Amino acid sequence: MRVDDLRGLGLFAGLSDAQLGELLEGGTEVRIEPGVRLFTEGEHADYWWVLVDGAIDLSRHVGREDTVVGRMDVPGRWAGGFRAWDERGIYLASGRGVTDGRVLRVPADVLRTLTDSWFPLGGHLINGVYGTARSIEATARQRQSLVTLGTLAAGLAHEINNPAAAATRAADALESVCQTLISSLDRLAQGEISAPQLTALDKLRREIKPAAVGLDPLDIADQENAMATWLGRHGIERDWVIAQPLAAAGVDVAWCERAAAVLDEDNLEPGLDWVASTFAATTLLSEVKVSTRRISELVAAVRSYSQMDRASLQPTDVTEGLENTLIMLGHKLRDGIEVVRDYTDLPRIEAYTGELNQVWTNLIDNAVDAMHGAGTLQITTRAKGTDVIVEITDTGEGMAPEVAARAFEAFYTTKDVGKGTGLGLDIAQRIIVERHSGTITINSTPGQTTLRVQIPIRQESGR
């Protein structure tokens, strides 16, 4: 490699031929071959790699796959060399050859010596920036991760708490009902109920189909009062305990009269108590099943949302991702927020599902915050040619033109510290534009703000 090979690179503008000669003397020419790895993510960045010609793919290991995150295909682009100023500097991605070419590989210690010699002040500034930036970034990332994790964890805990509490209450009540069930059978045995009587009572019990009953609460209350009155007239002391489950199951006074004709006076109360306990146990078991099923659905939604144990680029159901995101943010969608879904059948798209879910989280969370707890959140999906479109609209006060103009700028936010998901719109835009070759736009007027995401169904090869 000669000085003339480096002279045309904008990276080295301002360096003399002597300085370029020193750089070449301290470095080594390395040939690029398609498919051959030059450096590896996570290893110490002991070399500075400057592209002279050819192309190199930069990839990172995400989940179980290597994902291409960029490409060095313009002469003068560089990678690595971070240990020239940072002992802990590592390669942020792996470099693998795409087309034949050449790179100049310079050891990090040589790079540090040369820059200190040529640009002493610049070397000190770079060293200071590295130290300060690493400290600030580490603290900020840790704080941001904790805030985001805390927000999602709190929301999930809130969502799971309700069915978990319901299941616990039902299980506790079921224990009491089972004791009553056993006690009533014991009292029937002591009352020397005959086998034909017990058979007849069980036949009457089987006539009641609680699942088919559709009484409203007022009808049930009226039925319960009528039942308690009848039980009281027949000398049953626990009338208020027995009446409630019988009424809820759809039992009426006429049925009780038929039961009284089957049972003698001593066995009437334990007999009805036994029937009431069976209905109560069935109801409580149903509550436990519904509650635990809801918990399982939440866990499944979280698993799908986080894309655990799944490949990165994969066929993705956009509607499923939106619904899982709504579940994750369910604690923020109560009371005054109405969710309107305007879904159409969409084809599965090729996408990085976990990253896409993060975008939906950010956009929906922003929309909810903009409405200050009251308003309508509308989610619209449709297909258009080779693309799918998702629109998230809120009825908040809207964005001022100057805010909308800067919404996708890095580090720009209108939220207080600790608010939001920690994923700025600039990162959401990068995920949509750079990772999915799509677009994301804002259309905001007072009372209606729409974030419109358009993504191709198929990704270009090599992305």
In this chain, the answer to whether the domains covering 3-118 and 313-456 adopt an identical fold is no
Looking at the predicted structure, is the pLDDT value of residue 210 above 70? no
Q: How far is the C-alpha of 318 from the C-alpha of 353, rounded, in Å? A: 9
Per residue in 33-59, pLDDT (tens digit) is 999 999 999 899 899 999 999 999 999
Choose the most confident range, by mean pLDDT, from 209-223, 237-251, 444-458. 444-458
Q: What is the mean pLDDT of the chain?
A: 83
User: Tokens 């056993």, residue?
Assistant: 182
Who contacts 205 (Cβ-Cβ below 8 Å, separation ≥6)? 275, 278
Identify the helix (H) or strand (E) that includes residue 103.
strand 94-107
Domain ranges of the chain: 3-118, 161-293, 313-456
CA-to-CA distance for 421 and 154, rounded, in angstroms? 12
Let me know if 93 is exposed, middle or buried by CB neighbors in 10 A (0-12, 13-18, 19+): buried
- Superfamily for the 3-118 domain: Jelly Rolls (2.60.120.10)
Calculate mean pLDDT across residues 282-309: 75
Question: In the structure encoding, which two tokens stand for residue 113, read together?
Answer: 């010596």
Tell me the pLDDT tens digit for each residue of 178-208. 998 999 999 888 888 889 999 999 999 998 8
Q: Which pLDDT score is estimated for 73?
A: 92
Tell me if residue 32 falls in helix, strand or coil: strand
Question: Distance (Å, rounded) from C-alpha 159 to C-alpha 333?
Answer: 11
CA-based radius of gyration for the chain: 35
Task: Confirm if 408 and 419 have CB atoms less than 8 A apart.
Answer: no
pLDDT of residue 325: 86
Structure tokens at 128: 């200071």
| Pairwise CA distance, residues 120 & 124, whole Å | 6
> Hey, what CATH class is 313-456 in?
alpha beta
Four-CA torsion 150, 152, 157, 162, nearest 10 degrees: 140
Determine the pLDDT at residue 182: 92
Distance CA 233, CA 76 (A): 98
Q: How many residues does the chain have?
A: 463
End-to-end Cα separation, the chain, in angstroms: 32
* pLDDT value at residue 418: 41
Residue 30: enclosing H or E segment and its boundaries?
strand 28-32
d(CA 236, CA 228): 9
Confidence of residue 340 (pLDDT cuts 50, 70, 90): very high
pLDDT at 413: 61
Q: In what order do the strands lie in the sheet with 336-342?
A: 336-342, 374-384, 387-394, 448-456, 439-445
For residue 309, pLDDT beyond 60: no
Residues 333 and 339: beta-carbon distance below 8 Å: yes
Whole-number Cα distances in Å, 13 to 8, 9, 19, 49: 8, 7, 11, 17
Judged by average pLDDT, the poorest of 57-66, 95-104, 251-260, 271-280 is: 57-66
Residue 368 · residue 337 · CB < 8 Å: yes
pLDDT > 70: percent of the chain: 84
For residue 154, what pLDDT is reported?
A: 66
> pLDDT category, 463, cuts 50, 70, 90?
very low
pLDDT band at 462 (very low <50, low <70, confident <90, very high): very low
Q: Does the pLDDT at position 390 exceed 50?
A: yes
Handedness of CA 298, 299, 302, 304 (dihedral sign): negative
Average pLDDT over residues 417-432: 64
**Is the model more confident about 57 or about 150?**
57
61-78 pLDDT, tens digit each? 765 677 888 899 999 999
Residue 129: pLDDT band with limits 50, 70, 90: low
**pLDDT(419) > 50:** no
**What was the pLDDT predicted at 107?**
95
Query: H or E segment at 235?
Result: none
SS3 50: strand
